[in-house]
Homo-oligomer: A and B are copies of this chain.
């Protein structure tokens, strides 16, 4: 019974018909939820709003039942552990946390009065679990592999960027505040300006007007070019590295024999 439930829910490599139907229901439900979340941002008539609320209610019930079932059967995957520990292990996994985050916002207002229902948009992430399209999963893995390998280098460059942002914010406030006290009114505002400039978004809601401010802005914009160049270089080298290793590995596995004397050369 529990084994069968597990097979339906966890959709293994060769899924049964029941498993496929279950997946499709969940996918349709997620898509409906995302569309509802988008629809709720428009001015909609009262009756549509009630429909939206009912959909939300039903969805949360289904997702909650699904979540509990997943936790319940999760001990099958770790047969060597005591069931409670196995389930706690599962609950701490990335995908289970996403699943929980997708239903929790509904229950929070019953406890404290903060409305976090907007977080249900995170349900869209659940698609990643169910959409196990083989080719794309492999692509996603090699993307993840690059990030994992270059983690330290990427974090280091982000760290340097954060240091630069703080310095730039405080300097820029001190340079521009006198000329535009309303625009550069504190370090947070000029941090916002720094973000806009370093990422080259440049909305134009905050623009330096003093000569020193423009000079500083020039330096920051040029560093912004580096902000793109460095991670791109790291990621690009990461992809090349993986490809090169694969090719080397393929070459190493080829054994070469001399066709005349039969001895192994490689």
Contact surface of A with B, Cβ cutoff 8 Å:
34, 37-38, 41-43, 118, 121-122, 124-125, 127-128, 135-136, 138-140, 142-143, 146, 152-153, 155-157, 159, 163, 166-167, 169-171, 173-174, 177, 186-188, 190, 192, 195-197, 199-205, 207, 211, 214, 217-218, 221-222, 224-241, 243-245, 247-248, 258-261, 263, 265
Contacts and interface: CB of A to CB of B under 8 A. Distances in A.
A254 to B, nearest CB: 10
Number of chain copies forming the complex: 4
A239 B229 contact: no
Contact of A221 (B121, B174, B199, B221): B199
A95 to B, nearest CB: 15
Contact of A230 (B124, B143, B155): B143
Contacts of A263: 258, 260-261
Contacts of A34: 166
B231 A225 contact: yes
A260 B259 CA distance: 7
Contacts of A204: 202-205
Contact of A136 (B152, B192, B201, B235): B152
B38 A187 contact: yes
A34 B221 CA distance: 23
Contact of A237 (B153, B197, B243): B243
B121 A138 contact: no
A152 to B, nearest CB: 4
A258 B247 contact: no
A171 B118 contact: yes
A188 B235 CA distance: 32
Given A221-B201, A233-B232, A153 B143 contact: yes
B232 A118 contact: no
The 5 A-B residue pairs whose C-beta atoms are closest, nearest first, are A259-B259, A237-B239, A233-B235, A201-B202, A233-B236
A207 B205 contact: yes
A224 B203 CA distance: 14
A260 B226 CA distance: 52
18 contacts: A34-B166, A38-B187, A41-B190, A121-B166, A124-B166, A142-B153, A199-B224, A203-B203, A228-B232, A232-B235, A233-B238, A236-B236, A237-B243, A240-B243, A244-B244, A245-B247, A260-B261, A261-B263
A173 B41 contact: yes
B167 A124 contact: yes
A258 B258 CA distance: 6
